[in-house]
Amino acid sequence: MLTVKNLRKEFHGTQILKGISLEVEKGDVVAILGPSGAGKTTLLRCLNFLERADGGEMDFDGQHFQLDRISRKEIAGIRKKTAFVFQDFNLFSNKTALENVTEGLIIARKMPKAQAMEIGTRALAKVGLSDRLDYYPDQLSGGQQQRVAIARAVATDPEIIYFDEPTSALDPELTGEVLEAIRELAAEGRTMLVVTHEVGFARNVSTRTILMEQGQIVEEGSTKQLFENPREERTREFLNHFNKE
């Protein structure tokens, strides 16, 4: 469903992504692990065109794109079929929880308001926030904000959802509720690409895992294989490091 070939990105002459290729099938939950500075965030941002890649190709939803030459219109088309959950939530701070969820439906997709409200209400109920519809982001805890962000992502029924360390900005006692919401999406068969430092979560929830380092993919494979029988020495080291903690 999503295929990326040889994605490259540099900042000020430094190669940050040195030719990333990956494939995501419908229903896959792909975890991306890797040390800080590996380029995980940059990769996700390139996939949703928050950064423009310097080269590479993408096949998405049956269409082929040249990443460095893609047009605004094509980007807009792709974004209507994807969603992004940010590390620091990025809820619209001048909109209520419900409005945050319906904005993309009513404004971007011209859905009738009543229908959007219904979808939004349902999406927020699913993440356990039925009683917070009219709250503004600054009236919600971090975990609640991130759950609103997840509801916002799901409401548009995207083909794929990108998560960039969805729990990293949260106090430890709040990560559980957010991981639980993502786990439920996985159970429903949502296609997701999740950058995370929660190795345990990656192991338990993802179907495939990618390990990145210094702008390259070190190893990728089914989660079971990668955790139980890694091919690369570097993967073993990385996982051992976490097992020790």
Ligand X SMILES: Nc1ncnc2c1ncn2[C@@H]1O[C@H](COP(=O)(O)OP(=O)(O)OP(=O)(O)O)[C@@H](O)[C@H]1O
8 binds ligand X (CB under 6 A): no
Residues 6+ apart with CB under 8 A from 27: 189, 190, 191, 207
Q: SS3 for 239?
A: helix
Q: Which does residue 96 touch among ligand X, another protein, Mg ion, none (CB within 5 to 8 A, set by kind)?
A: another protein
Question: How far apart are alpha carbons 43 and 16 in whole angstroms?
Answer: 9
Find the binder of another protein among 25, 134, 171, 237 (CB under 8 A): 134
**Residue 88 interacts with another protein (CB under 8 A): yes or no:** yes
Q: Is residue 188 part of the contact set for another protein (CB under 8 A)? A: no
Please give the Cα distance from 185 to 168 (Å, whole number): 19
Show contacts with ligand X in window 74-93 (CB under 6 A).
none
Q: Could you write out the three-class secondary structure of 155-205?
A: HCCCCEEEEECCCCCCCHHHHHHHHHHHHHHHHCCCCEEEECCCHHHHHHH
Query: In residues, how long is the chain?
Result: 245
Which of 3, 15, 90, 141 binds another protein (CB under 8 A)? It is: 90
Minimum gap (Å) between residue 153 Cβ and another protein: 8
Residues forming contacts to ligand X in the complex (CB under 6 A) are: 11-12, 16, 34, 36-42
Residues forming contacts to another protein in the complex (CB under 8 A) are: 48, 50, 76, 79-80, 82-84, 86, 88, 90-96, 103-104, 107-109, 134-139, 152, 156
